[in-house]
Amino acid sequence: MTQVFDVERVLAQLTLEEKASLTSGSDFWHTQGVERAGVPAVMVTDGPHGLRKQPEEADHLGLGNSVPATCFPTAAALGSSWDVELVTRVGEALGRETRANDVAVLLGPGVNIKRTPLCGRNFEYVSEDPVVAGELGTAIVRGIQSQGVGTSLKHFAANNQESDRMRVSAEVDERTLREVYLPAFERVVKNAQPWTVMCAYNKVNGTYASENHWLLTEILRDEWAFEGLVVSDWGAVHDRVPALAAGLDLQMPAAGPRPDEEVVAAVRDGSLDEAVLDVAARRVLDLIARSLPGIEADDSFDVDAHHELAREAAAAGSVLLKNDGGLLPLASTEGVAVIGEFARTPRYQGAGSSQVNPTRLDSPLDALRAVGELEFAPGFTIAGGPDGDDAALLAGAVEVARGAETVVAFLGLPGPDESEGYDRPRLGLPDNQVAVLRAVAEVNPRVVVVLANGSAVSVTDWRDLAPAILETWLGGQAGGSAVADLLLGVRSPSGKLTETIPHRIEDTPAFGNFPGEAGVVRYGEGVLVGYRWYDTRAVDVAYAFGHGLSYTTFDYSDVTATADGTDVTVTATITNTGSVAGAEVVQVYVRDPEAAVLRPTRELKAFAKVALDPGESRAVAFTLGARDLSYWHPGLHRWVVEGGEFVVEVGASSRDLRGSVSLEIEGEPLWGELTPMSTIEEWLAHPVGGPLLSAALVPPADLGPLDETMQAMIQQMPAKVIADFGLSGFDRETLDTLVAKVAAG
């Protein structure tokens, strides 16, 4: 029977030094215990797509081998499933493995926004859109924590690159933070209450995230009502005293005795209120208390069942980008040639702290050969893979392709291209792989390309060579079998892109503002991130956000949208018009055609994945609220609904819209405060200030009528400037009187 851990009783008996020690880890993976008071140390360990528990004899930095665990698809693949129920089940499996290994907290998920496809850690993140990231992040947190273990929502906030990540300052305006980079975190915190939130390495507008009171206390706790513990990313704390004052609770990993001593000294000299330390220590004790039942349980997990779940998830997250002429699915393996080293040496996860030691590993080549005989040629070498002569390998691939009915070419990014700690060197595939594809396509036009990569790669230079392209991302340990299922039609593809695939890096929103310079990265694209950028600026892309084909087809009908105040109900009927079962991701976008601020052409606000048999129809309904119509007002510093026309669009991608409805929404008055520095245009637009100013601002008769140019110029002038011109009857005293009258209402 688990002994009750009385947090308040324990806290009351701790010394100042012991309380300070609780705000640091005891080593790389454990919290600090206090044996005298009966406080155990508990273990946290890396995720997020699989448990990475280091054995006791592991290296100090925690970068060596880990215990065997199921390597599920990375977030890039899980996100592309758009399947909340499936991701919840993956979370439950992760929770079972975490609990079975006596670990208190799995360090994930990551919901940072994919600002640029070159971010080296994009494979760990869900989407370029905060709604998708927030919904699927919520699902995996709920799943994991349903098993009695915790999660760590990361990396809070604006950690969108690996270059100089431990020092760089992300310079980003509040509206952009509120609309793009914070909502995924907000959604997970409010809907799932992760046990911990992990602060990022970087600075946000000049202040380290670990010392950022606005982020950790004012937003996370005061606004979002976060109840758990804030832990640092490993090595993100530079001074624990201001970090505690800002809202950090636990510094990881252990950093020697000095930080503890500095905390004790700060309390004794009055520069840190002991009550602040008590709050942090209590949160650490709360985490330990809620962890103990799971840690003390004698649990195991079904290795085979988890592998099959990983296989299902890998298939669900794969995206069929192209399928000209219905080349896929293949009728059988007869006459098929497999080309590409990735077929036998699969790229299935990213590099860095998330590397999992899989319980088993399926290669695509083995999975296809289990179905039937086929020819294979490696075609090229990959960094970190088997050595070889690329010229000879290319020639061998051409000979194999020449005699085949269909070629399946496995291409992708080498492991060293994508990792925590640094960003990608290029958007495209390696030259040796593209050269093989070109040579193969010259002798056999029936080419299927299967991609393995953690973030978008450019396909523009070679996609015309392949009638079919299947993007599998990094599909985890069962990804090889999942690919075979999709190629042979055992499963129908149902994944959709959660990130746009651009033609060129020069087309991307952050180009010119990434990765920054002199320790600063400027988020100059503002709210136009991902598809918001491409669609608003009408930039041509290779494949749009939300795109993904199936082996069947879907029809959208009866699209409706009705408003009740700022609540909007959206409905649509989806019909499977093809001959096989499949699933469609229905996407709901909102457009504000005319606004006082720049708004994206459209923004995703809701989605649902609908599985349908051939000929089956289903009505789906969505409810949108005021927040879905709002923007963050930079002057009022709050969410506002600006009244007027809104357009609700329902479709299969951000550029494949199947129905739209225009609505009139009654918003709120957004006149703002009038001051002497408000422009004449702002004064005249104000319902109170406009008539007052019009009556007071009468131009002298000798000026004559003002032409359109002069009127337009005056509209942009602050009222104070006009008053200072000394026009008859309108001076500073008059203006001050008007300001007071407007303020009085």
For the purposes of burial, counting CB atoms within 10 Å of the CB of 59, is it exposed (0-12), middle (13-18) or buried (19 or more)?
Answer: exposed
| Amino acid (1-letter code) at residue 9 | R
pLDDT at 711 over 70: yes
pLDDT at 190 over 70: yes
Do 452 and 475 form a contact (C-beta atoms < 8 A)? yes
Q: Which two tokens stand for residue 334?
A: 């007869």
613-638 average pLDDT score: 96
Distance (Å, rounded) from C-alpha 317 to C-alpha 495?
Answer: 5
pLDDT band at residue 704 under the 50/70/90 scheme: low
pLDDT at 3 over 90: no
- Residue 714 confidence (pLDDT): 86
Do 327 and 50 form a contact (C-beta atoms < 8 A)? no
461 counts as catalytic: no
Average pLDDT, the chain: 95
What's the angle, vertex CA 717, arms to CA 712 and CA 719, rounded to 5?
A: 125
Nearest to 353 by CA among 474, 231, 233: 233
Q: Which two tokens stand for residue 275?
A: 């009550």
pLDDT band at residue 705 under the 50/70/90 scheme: low
Q: What distances in angstroms separate CA 516 from CA 378, 484, 489, one per listed residue?
A: 39, 42, 45
pLDDT at 271 over 50: yes
pLDDT band at residue 158 under the 50/70/90 scheme: very high
- Residue 121 confidence (pLDDT): 96
259-288 average pLDDT score: 98
pLDDT at 212 over 50: yes
The b-or-e profile of 405-421 (16+ CB within 10 A means b, else e) is ebbbbbbbbbbebbbbe
Q: Could you give the percent of the chain with pLDDT greater than 70? A: 97
User: DSSP letters of 88-118?
Assistant: HHHHHHHHHHHHHTT-SEEE--B------TT
- Residue 593 confidence (pLDDT): 95
Mapping DSSP to helix (H, G, I), strand (E, B) and coil, where does residue 291 land?
A: helix
pLDDT band at residue 353 under the 50/70/90 scheme: confident
For the purposes of burial, counting CB atoms within 10 Å of the CB of 257, is it exposed (0-12), middle (13-18) or buried (19 or more)?
Answer: exposed
Query: Of residues 46, 164, 233, 628, which has the active-site annotation?
Result: 233
Token pair 């869900």: residue: 126
| Amino acid (1-letter code) at residue 410 | F
> Do you find a cis peptide bond into 691, omega within 30 degrees of 0?
no
- Residue 282 confidence (pLDDT): 98
pLDDT at 706 over 90: no
Q: Which of 39-43, 203-207, 730-734 has the lowest mean pLDDT?
A: 730-734
Nearest to 541 by CA among 496, 504, 497, 503: 503
Distance (Å, rounded) from C-alpha 137 to C-alpha 130?
Answer: 10
Distance (Å, rounded) from C-alpha 183 to C-alpha 585?
Answer: 21
Q: Which of 109-113, 294-298, 551-555, 571-575 has the lowest mean pLDDT?
A: 294-298
pLDDT at 138 over 70: yes
Backbone angles phi, psi at 522, to 5 degrees: -95, 125
pLDDT at 61 over 70: no
User: DSSP letters of 388-430?
Assistant: --HHHHHHHHHHHHHT-SEEEEEEE--GGGSBTTB--S-SS--
Kindly give the interhelix angle for 274-296 and 258-268, rounded to the nearest 10 degrees. Answer: 140
| Cβ partners under 8 Å of residue 395, min gap 6 | none
- Residue 367 confidence (pLDDT): 98
Q: Compute the chain's Rg from CA coordinates.
A: 29
Q: Which two tokens stand for residue 156?
A: 């809070």
pLDDT at 701 over 60: no
Widest distance between CA atoms in the chain: 96
Q: β-pairing, 406-412 with 447-452?
A: parallel
Distance (Å, rounded) from C-alpha 610 to C-alpha 31?
Answer: 43
Which CATH homologous superfamily contains domain 554-665?
Immunoglobulins (2.60.40.10)
- Residue 730 confidence (pLDDT): 85
- The terminus-to-terminus CA distance of the chain in angstroms comes to 66
> Do you find a cis peptide bond into 346, omega within 30 degrees of 0?
no
Specify the higher pLDDT residue, 729 or 732. Answer: 732
Specify the higher pLDDT residue, 699 or 735. Answer: 735
User: DSSP letters of 531-592?
Assistant: HHHHHHTT---SB-TT--B-SS-EEEEEEEEEEETTEEEEEEEEEE-SSS-EEEEEEEEEE-
Q: β-pairing, 554-564 with 567-576?
A: antiparallel
Distance (Å, rounded) from C-alpha 585 to C-alpha 651?
Answer: 9
Please count the other Cβ atoms lying within 10 Å of the Cβ belonging to residue 593.
11
CATH of 42-205+302-536 among 3.40.309.10, 3.40.630.40, 3.40.50.1700, 3.40.50.300: 3.40.50.1700
Give the tens place of pLDDT for each residue, 446-483: 999 999 999 999 999 999 999 999 999 999 999 999 99
Q: What is the domain partition of the chain in residue ranges?
A: 42-205+302-536, 554-665, 680-744
Distance (Å, rounded) from C-alpha 33 to C-alpha 49?
Answer: 28
pTM summary value: 0.95
Do 347 and 362 form a contact (C-beta atoms < 8 A)? no
Q: β-pairing, 582-591 with 603-612?
A: antiparallel
Instruction: Measure CA 271 to chain center.
Output: 38
Distance (Å, rounded) from C-alpha 745 to C-alpha 691?
Answer: 13
Distance (Å, rounded) from C-alpha 303 to C-alpha 283?
Answer: 34
Residue 688, by phi and psi: left (phi above 0), alpha (psi -120 to 50) or beta?
A: alpha
Which H helix or E strand runs over 69?
Answer: strand 68-69
pLDDT at 727 over 80: no
653-678 average pLDDT score: 92
99-121 average pLDDT score: 97
Kindly give the interhelix angle for 303-316 and 479-487, rounded to the nearest 10 degrees. Answer: 50
- Residue 2 confidence (pLDDT): 52
Mapping DSSP to helix (H, G, I), strand (E, B) and coil, where does residue 128 land?
A: coil
pLDDT band at residue 1 under the 50/70/90 scheme: very low
Distance (Å, rounded) from C-alpha 359 to C-alpha 339?
Answer: 26
